[in-house]
Amino acid sequence: MTTVTRRYEFSASHRLHSPELSDAENARLFGKCNNPFGHGHNYVLDVTVAGAVDPSTGLILPLPKLDNLIDETVLKLFDHRNINLDVPQFAERVPTTENVILVILELLRQHWNAYLGDTAAQLLHVRIQETERNFFEV
């Protein structure tokens, strides 16, 4: 089995605030990320796919198919958006990057066959870099 990792970038803003906590608890827990006006990140998303190399093409999968999946299901939803307000999956979720990566994983699994069902490639790993020091993986 061979793997290929493809990198994507998107920018989005969010505010970390839980309605289940008091304003003081939110401020203490989330610090500057609880700013009422929100803040933004330039996210780096790595998607790793595994599969057998097709002997006739020499590829695990045509990368434009993976790009199309990511563009249509992730980037159009998140890029240059306010995650709290513009992404329906966060109507009742705190938009931590832990939750963002879980939503992205859910979207990729949900739409995988529609975009890549005719390939033997399988989703292996998803990673998001939020800052120079913060990485999240599933």
pLDDT digits (tens, 9 = 90+) for 19-46: 999 999 999 999 999 999 999 999 999 9
Element (H, E) at 6: strand 2-14
Options 9, 25, 39, 80, the catalytic residue:
80
Mean per-residue pLDDT of the chain: 97
Query: In this model, does residue 3 exceed pLDDT 90?
Result: yes
| The two three-digit tokens of residue 49, written as one number | 């796919």
Closest C-alpha among 74, 107, 97 to residue 13: 97
CATH topology of domain 2-137: Tetrahydropterin Synthase; Chain A (3.30.479)
pLDDT mean over 47-74: 96
Which DSSP symbol is given to 60?
S
33 is catalytic: yes
> Residue 120's pLDDT band (boundaries 50, 70, 90)?
confident
Domain boundaries, the chain: 2-137
> Residue 135's pLDDT band (boundaries 50, 70, 90)?
very high
Options 72, 111, 125, 130, the catalytic residue:
130
Options 33, 72, 111, 125, the catalytic residue:
33
